[in-house]
Amino acid sequence: MKKTTLLFSLFILFAQAGISQKPVKIDKNTFGQLKARSIGPAVMSGRIAALDAVNEDPRIFYVGSAGGGVWKTTNMGTTFKPVFEKEIQAIGAITIDQQHPDTVWVGTGEPWTRNSTSVGKGVYVTYDGGDNWKSRGLDSTERIARIVIDPQNPDIVYVAALGPLWSASPHRGLYKTEDGGKTWEKILFVDENTGCSGIAVDPENPGLVYAGMWDFRRTGWNFRSGGPGSSFYRSEDGGKTWTSIEKNLTPKPWGRVYVDFSPADPNVVYLLIEAKKTSFYQSIDKGKTWELMNNTSDVNERPFYFGFFVPDPVDTNRIYKPGFRLQMSEDGGKKFMSPSVTGGNFHSDVHGVWIAPNNNQLIYLSTDGGVYISVDQAKTWSFCRNLPVSQFYHVGVDNDKPYNVFGGLQDNGSWISPSKAAGGVTNASWKNLGWGDGFNVLRDPKNDNIMFWQWQGGNLRRLFLDTRENKDIMPYSEDGTKLRWNWNTPLVTGAKSKDLYTGSQFLYRSSDQGDTWKKLSPDLTTNDPEKQKQEQTGGLTIDNSTAENHCTIYTIGESPVDDNIIWVGTDDGNLQLTRDNGQTWENLIANVPGLPPATWVSYVEPSPYDEATAFVSFDGHTQGDMKPYVFKTTDFGKTWTNLATDNIKSYCNIIRQDLKNPDLLFLGTEAGLFISIDGGEQWARFTGNLPKVSVRDMVFQTRENDLVLATHGRGIYIIDDLTPLQNLKKEMLTENMVYLGSRPYRLGTMGAHQEFNGDDDFRGSNPPSALSINYYLKKRHIFGDMFIRVYDPEGKMIKKLPAGKRKGINRVDWRMMMKKPKVPSSVQLLGWAMAGPTYPPGDYTVKIIKNKDTIQGTVTVEYDDNPHHTPADRDERYKYLMKAYHMLEDLAFLDNQIIEIRDQSKTKADSTKGSLHKKLVALSDEMADLRLKIVATKEGRITGEERLREKIGNIYGGLLGYQGKPTKSQIDGLEELEGEMKTYRDQVDDAVQNIIPNLNKKLEKNGLKPLKLTDKKTFLEKESS
Amino acid sequence: MKKLIYLFVGMLFSFTLSAQDLSLDEILNNYYEIMGLDKLAKVKGIEIKGKSFNQGMEYDFTMISVPPGRYRLEVPIQGQTMVQVYDQGEAWVIAPWTGTLAPKDITGDQLKQMEKQADITGELYNWKEKGSKVELLGKEDMEGSDVYKIKLTDKNGDETIYYIDAENFVILKTENTITMRGEPVKTESSISDYKPVEEGIIMAYSHTDSYNGQVVNTLTIDTVILNPEVDLSIFEKPEVPAADSTQQQK
């Protein structure tokens, strides 16, 4: 019976192997261990929408980034860690339950409703200081302005939901929970256009609640702050009933309304109302009566962006009014001035202020450029240089070694950094290129000294890197036509021609670095006059910054196959194609099925494989349409297929087709990166170290085969070496194990580096300096052996490595180092000899062995390009390095023989007498003396003692650390030491050949066992050195 | 050996049939059974030899455990040997490269870690007697495998999350937050290469540890000997600095 069971179970196992050929779904696990690498930057940081700190221990605070998630510090900003990695990264509000500081509420979706803002997805709470988060619903509110916890009952929480920015919605207003967020009641709702922008709860009497309501709307071409819904309410029963208040306040219509109690005196309430005359009020009777304190421009800086104030927690007359700068009043708001006289150096645009309730000297500030800390009441500021929440619009790369990464950021100009650097990519790696809001940055492919960069509204500069001089090369109108430039105007290098392109409503092309522009098109937009009233944008407070410029070209793509073929997409929903370098144009948009009218074309990607094929992503979010649209054509746009699938939960910013595998597609969405390996049939989110952040741009670095991502909230990420993704075909997914290959491993050095910058500096990681072994596993390996063997070009097995065992793609990195040399034993470690040499170039075979299955492949190892070393130099270096390596091992063997002779002859001497005793003692003494010349033997950490071992070790270390030609001194030095070693070797050989055999005979005569020495082979093979 | 594998396969099969949502006790009992922990709990000692792969470096190690609560770890480096011993509540280390051969006492968090290390059956086995609490957090997908997520809180209040394969009832991964010099550090250990040691006992021959998401170390086991001959004096702390044989003078 037992036998039957066994057979049956074996049968089942085999049967399972047989029936497993059904299609495997592509999901996030398909990509397995593949990870993106963050290189920051944190040097300019990014927009911070909210922050809150623990009153009793202000060293602990949370930072809510507009697009980069929640970050927590426990050491007052020396270090931060991201704590919201699984959720949407757009943050609007953070509130700590001060009675239980591990309870923190986060409202997603920022309330500072600029054109480039992202979207949120409801409310979250953690009860363990950020380790775990629970969704608490309100998913459709899109953006949350403020969260207030009832001062007496932490289960009661108010959420001020602004609601959707781009459409009417019932999901806005003031929400309240009485059960910690399990259920919500919308306790104040005005209409579908009006959200809640301010909420204040009386700290003494939590039934008294004030709410500010804001009627607002943004479109692609207009922003409106203010309308009939804007209003101000009072409730005395915790929000059950409300009274509208407007008597004696500035005349309606109003815009954004904000209200707060003074933490210093709960009788004092402040109120800010955006209106024709934006007004700031103070009440000293809990809001029964209001006194106008100020209606100057001091309280009316961009209300949609800075519509709040912060009362001092100690001094009721001290109020902070954030704006472009931070203003402060010492008389309850009558007059405002800067709190700094000599200091005050922080990024403009303030969105959050936290003041320690027990010490109003300590202030945290959040801005468009990160977080600042003041310990002298806002006079001077230190910058938290470790929050990589930078908001890129675009990214580019060049072909330097290592290649550089560059791009422009929201309100933070344009920057460049090497993609890797000795010690990691740090703040010091990033250099500024241009000012303003930054967008596209390009390196001229024809002249290394030239870069191009932009600021908002199409402004374009040519930068000479050597002299840092900038030339204005923006195209101007030659016939008086007003040119319309998008906030985020396209600027691209032609994939085939390497010409420069930009676009207003017209397309421009230049082949002389912008000195002359050829107008290649008529107006390619709808030219709808209703969408061109930017001089009226802003609503109550005019705000025409080019952010609403519309009916403009937004994306340009020259075919990599034929540079007469150019695809253009506009923000007002035109998709245009020329096949004759601009002589004729065809608007293809009517051919795109199921696309709502006027949907913004976010990216055109002409296929590098075929001139008739292109991919286009569309983004409807500025019409309130958050759905993904990704289309493909193979017939010059006559017909289109929608590639978007239901699991893509957000609108799409960019689609790229891989340069080596046409079925490999990368889709940048507002909520992370999606990848398809089957030409867009299935998509899965890439979760390898990349949160649900807005991916705005992507570029391939062809030489390194990398993908570089621009995120709008988490800076730049690099997926190093796309080879495994490029080689993973859909039909392979059903196989148990597939070798995927890797780019050649290039032997070189990252260089040396020393710095002691403290712990508050950002440090991005480098790509691994290692040979990568990539393979796919259908299922996680659990039972039996799984490991990797590496064979050198001659077929000799040189390394056994642990394997990666995850489902999906596994990446095992091996630094290709030989085992470290065996060295003579000593209490002093020989630091240089802790590493073996790297194996030389060649084709190495790797075998991945999983129980009885083996797959194999080849990895090519090459010298990297180093301008200072010829291959012959490097071969010579390898030769002498190996010589030093073997000398260390020879010396180790010599040392071992000396010890064996010394100790054994001493032991034998104790059992003998007479001349034999004397000879043994003499031999032991001789060896003891000899050993002192070979090895440092003093105890203690820094003895400075140097013997032969240390001298060879130094030359070995020198050779190991440099990739090129050895010095003559190193070569001669080795020879000299070789000679010295030979003297000792001869001395030992003499003992072994001439003295010991005689002694052994005599020992045996005396009935004693002879001296027995380990041979070299056994010694060197002995496990571990 | 062949017979062992057959038995092993048979065990797997019997569990596959019962892979559905189970209670905490059922999950743990399945886990004890497939691992053979009742049997392992009766061994007098265990000797494990293997390799540690650490940032491109490779070290051999030998670990000898004698329950209850004793183990000795040896790692040879450049002709010297690092020795780490845990002996029923006390621990010490000899690290020759610090310039001395004198043993140094181990205290604090590292001592707590070592106490766990000395428990050869693992802390889930007989958790009640060990003063721990165990909670089933649910069933979920972990890197593409269905797993039961179990939280163990030990007598010191330290928590470990165990991910137990819902199909085969072995541990696929553990997660800890350990405190290193006052700083919480998330550690993760991926466990695999389960193989029979002898009839009725299987062990994991591969452990890959990550700190804060970065792989720092992989341990692989080459040989396991149950009930080895052990002289208990190897757990005693040397009174004086261990004699350095290489330093014997005339």
DSSP line for A871-939: HHHHHHHHHHHHHHHHHHHHHHHHHHHHHHHHHHHHHHHHT--HHHHHHHHHHHHHHHHHHHHHS----
State residue A780's pLDDT score.
Answer: 96
Q: Is the pLDDT of residue A17 over 70?
A: no
Q: Which residue of B has its CA nearest to A27?
A: B144
CB contacts, 8 Å: A950 with chain B: none
Report the pLDDT averaged over residues A771-800. Answer: 96
- Closest approach of A739 to chain B, Cα-based (Å): 19
**Does residue A918 share a domain with residue A1016?**
yes
**Does residue A242 share a domain with residue A162?**
yes
**Does residue A948 share a domain with residue A801?**
no
Domain assignment present for residue A7? The answer is: no
Looking at the partner chain, which of A5, A9, A817 has a beta carbon nearest the beta carbon of B56?
Answer: A817
* Nearest in space to A832 (alpha carbons), one of A914, A896, A777, A887: A887
CB contacts, 8 Å: A906 with chain B: 248, 250
pLDDT greater at residue A154 or residue A824: A154
With cut-offs at 50, 70 and 90, classify the pLDDT of residue A828.
Answer: low
Q: How far apart are CA B247 and CA A378, in angstroms?
A: 65
Report the pLDDT averaged over residues A133-145. Answer: 97
A75, A838, A1024, A1025, best to mutate vs chain B, most B CBs in 10 Å: A1024
By the CB < 8 Å criterion, does A759 face chain B? Answer: no
C-alpha distances (whole Å) from A342 to each of A319, A348, A378, A380, A748 are 20, 16, 11, 8, 49
* Nearest in space to B121 (alpha carbons), one of B240, B230, B37, B197: B37
Q: Is the pLDDT of residue A16 over 90?
A: no
**Does residue A377 share a domain with residue A433?**
no
B77, B193, B212, best to mutate vs chain A, most A CBs in 10 Å: B193
Report the pLDDT averaged over residues A142-148. Answer: 98
**Does residue A650 share a domain with residue A630?**
yes
Residues 597-616 of A with CB under 8 A from B: none
Q: Picking from A604-618, A675-689, A699-713, B88-102, which range would have the lowest pLDDT averaged per residue?
A: B88-102
pLDDT per residue as tens digits for the range A646-664: 999 999 999 999 999 999 9
Report the pLDDT averaged over residues A332-360. Answer: 94
Domain assignment present for residue A33? The answer is: no
Cβ neighbours of A513 (radius 10 Å): 16
A801: domain CATH number is 2.60.40
Q: Is the pLDDT of residue A926 over 50?
A: yes
In this predicted complex, what is the ipTM?
0.88
State residue A467's pLDDT score.
Answer: 97
Is B192's CB within 8 Å of A801's CB?
Answer: no
Is A783's CB within 8 Å of B247's CB?
Answer: no
Q: Structural domain tally of chain A?
A: 4
Count of CB pairs separated by less than 8 Å, A with B: 146
CB contacts, 8 Å: B172 with chain A: 780, 782
- Closest approach of B81 to chain A, Cα-based (Å): 10
Q: Is the pLDDT of residue A825 over 90?
A: no
Q: Is the pLDDT of residue A619 over 60?
A: yes
pLDDT greater at residue B110 or residue A761: A761
pLDDT per residue as tens digits for the range A197-256: 999 999 999 999 999 999 999 999 999 999 999 999 999 999 999 999 999 999 999 999
Domain assignment present for residue A708? The answer is: yes
Q: How far apart are CA A771 and CA A704, in angstroms?
A: 14
By the CB < 8 Å criterion, does A153 face chain B? Answer: no
Please state, for a pLDDT cut of 90, what percent of chain A lies above it.
90
Q: Which residues of A704-735 are buried (b: 16+ CB within 10 A; e: fewer)?
A: bbbbbbbbbbbbbbbbbbbbbbbbbebebbee
Domain assignment present for residue A12? The answer is: no
Is A784's CB within 8 Å of B195's CB?
Answer: yes
pLDDT per residue as tens digits for the range A50-90: 999 999 999 999 999 999 999 999 999 999 999 999 999 99
**Does residue A834 share a domain with residue A920?**
no
By the CB < 8 Å criterion, does A786 face chain B? Answer: yes
C-alpha distances (whole Å) from B196 to each of B8, B11, B203 are 7, 11, 6
By the CB < 8 Å criterion, does A835 face chain B? Answer: yes
CB contacts, 8 Å: B193 with chain A: 781, 783-786, 805
Q: Picking from A173-177, A753-757, B146-150, which range would have the lowest pLDDT averaged per residue?
A: A753-757
Q: How far apart are CA B247 and CA A928, in angstroms?
A: 9
Q: Which residue of B has its CA nearest to A926?
A: B250
User: How big is chain B by its Cα radius of gyration, in Å?
Assistant: 19
CB contacts, 8 Å: B170 with chain A: 782
Quick one: how far is CA A660 from the chain centroid? 25
Which domains are assigned to chain B? 2-236 (2.50.20.10)
Classify the C-alpha dihedral A911-A913-A915-A921 as positive or negative. positive
Q: How far apart are CA B239 and CA B235, in angstroms?
A: 12
A325: domain CATH number is 2.130.10.10
By the CB < 8 Å criterion, does A1020 face chain B? Answer: no
A720, A749, A774 — which closes off a domain? Answer: A720
A338, A357, A383 — which closes off a domain? Answer: A383
Is A829's CB within 8 Å of B97's CB?
Answer: yes
Domain, as residue range, for A877: 871-1021
State residue B240's pLDDT score.
Answer: 59
Looking at the partner chain, which of A12, A937, A943 has a beta carbon nearest the beta carbon of B13?
Answer: A12
Q: Which residue of B has its CA nearest to A828?
A: B97
User: Residue written as tokens 């007469």?
Assistant: A564
Domain assignment present for residue A217? The answer is: yes
Looking at the partner chain, which of B13, B144, B195 has a beta carbon nearest the beta carbon of A9?
Answer: B13
Domain assignment present for residue A753? The answer is: no
Q: Is the pLDDT of residue B51 over 80?
A: yes
Q: Is the pLDDT of residue B245 over 50?
A: no
Report the pLDDT averaged over residues A513-541. Answer: 96
CB contacts, 8 Å: A128 with chain B: none
* Nearest in space to A494 (alpha carbons), one of A476, A470, A518, A478: A518
State residue B214's pLDDT score.
Answer: 82
By the CB < 8 Å criterion, does A756 face chain B? Answer: no
| Phi, psi for residue A893 in degrees, rounded to 5 | -65, -45
Is A827's CB within 8 Å of B170's CB?
Answer: no
By the CB < 8 Å criterion, does A899 face chain B? Answer: yes
With cut-offs at 50, 70 and 90, classify the pLDDT of residue B248.
Answer: very low
Domain assignment present for residue A388? The answer is: no
If you average pLDDT over each of A53-57, B79-83, B236-240, which comes out highest? Answer: A53-57
pLDDT greater at residue A132 or residue A830: A132
CB contacts, 8 Å: A38 with chain B: none
Q: Name A664's Cβ contacts closer than 8 Å, sequence gap at least 6.
A: A657, A658, A675, A676, A677, A722, A725, A726
**Does residue A462 share a domain with residue A611?**
yes
By the CB < 8 Å criterion, does A801 face chain B? Answer: yes
- Closest approach of A310 to chain B, Cα-based (Å): 33
Q: How far apart are CA A25 and CA A628, in angstroms?
A: 20
Is A29's CB within 8 Å of B144's CB?
Answer: yes
- Closest approach of A456 to chain B, Cα-based (Å): 38
pLDDT per residue as tens digits for the range A265-311: 999 999 999 999 999 999 999 999 999 999 999 999 999 999 999 99
Cβ neighbours of A938 (radius 10 Å): 12
In this structure, what DSSP letter does residue A986 have? H
Q: Name A583's Cβ contacts closer than 8 Å, sequence gap at least 6.
A: none
Looking at the partner chain, which of A5, A808, A825 has a beta carbon nearest the beta carbon of B144?
Answer: A808
* Nearest in space to A668 (alpha carbons), one of A701, A713, A637: A713
* Nearest in space to A366 (alpha carbons), one of A334, A320, A435: A320
**Does residue A980 share a domain with residue A920?**
yes
State residue A750's pLDDT score.
Answer: 84
State residue B250's pLDDT score.
Answer: 34
* Nearest in space to A122 (alpha carbons), one of A162, A168, A72, A169: A162
Q: How far apart are CA A481 and CA A281, in angstroms?
A: 47
Q: Is the pLDDT of residue B7 over 60?
A: no
- Closest approach of A899 to chain B, Cα-based (Å): 7
By the CB < 8 Å criterion, does A86 face chain B? Answer: no
Is B57's CB within 8 Å of A834's CB?
Answer: yes
CA atoms within 13 A on the CB side of B90: 7
A829, A838, A901, A921, best to mutate vs chain B, most B CBs in 10 Å: A829
Residues 924-943 of A with CB under 8 A from B: 924-925, 928, 931, 935, 937, 939-941, 943
**Does residue A312 share a domain with residue A172?**
yes
CB contacts, 8 Å: B58 with chain A: 819
With cut-offs at 50, 70 and 90, classify the pLDDT of residue A350.
Answer: very high
Residue A726 in 3-state DSSP? helix
Domain assignment present for residue A746? The answer is: no
State residue A933's pLDDT score.
Answer: 85
Q: Name B229's Cβ contacts closer than 8 Å, sequence gap at least 6.
A: none
**Does residue A711 share a domain with residue A768?**
no
Is A899's CB within 8 Å of B246's CB?
Answer: yes
Average pLDDT, chain B: 85
B54, B188, B192, B199, best to mutate vs chain A, most A CBs in 10 Å: B192
Measured CA angle at A951 (ends A946, A954), to 5 deg: 110
pLDDT per residue as tens digits for the range A550-597: 999 999 999 999 999 999 999 999 999 999 999 999 999 999 999 999
Is B195's CB within 8 Å of A829's CB?
Answer: no
| Contact call for residues B174 and B160 (beta carbons, < 8 A) | yes
Report the pLDDT averaged over residues A968-974. Answer: 96
By the CB < 8 Å criterion, does A817 face chain B? Answer: yes
Report the pLDDT averaged over residues A781-809. Answer: 96
**Does residue A401 share a domain with residue A374?**
no
pLDDT per residue as tens digits for the range A465-496: 999 999 999 999 999 999 999 999 999 999 99
A660, A693, A720 — which closes off a domain? Answer: A720
State residue A458's pLDDT score.
Answer: 97
Q: How far apart are CA A624 and CA A645, in angstroms?
A: 19
**Does residue A785 share a domain with residue A818?**
yes
Looking at the partner chain, which of B13, B58, B172 has a beta carbon nearest the beta carbon of A780?
Answer: B172
- Closest approach of B27 to chain A, Cα-based (Å): 17
Q: Which residue of A has its CA nearest to B14?
A: A9
Q: Which residue of A has its CA nearest to B220?
A: A802
By the CB < 8 Å criterion, does A16 face chain B? Answer: no
pLDDT greater at residue B9 or residue A846: A846
Looking at the partner chain, which of A835, A906, A941 has a beta carbon nearest the beta carbon of B98?
Answer: A941
State residue A940's pLDDT score.
Answer: 60
State residue A932's pLDDT score.
Answer: 87
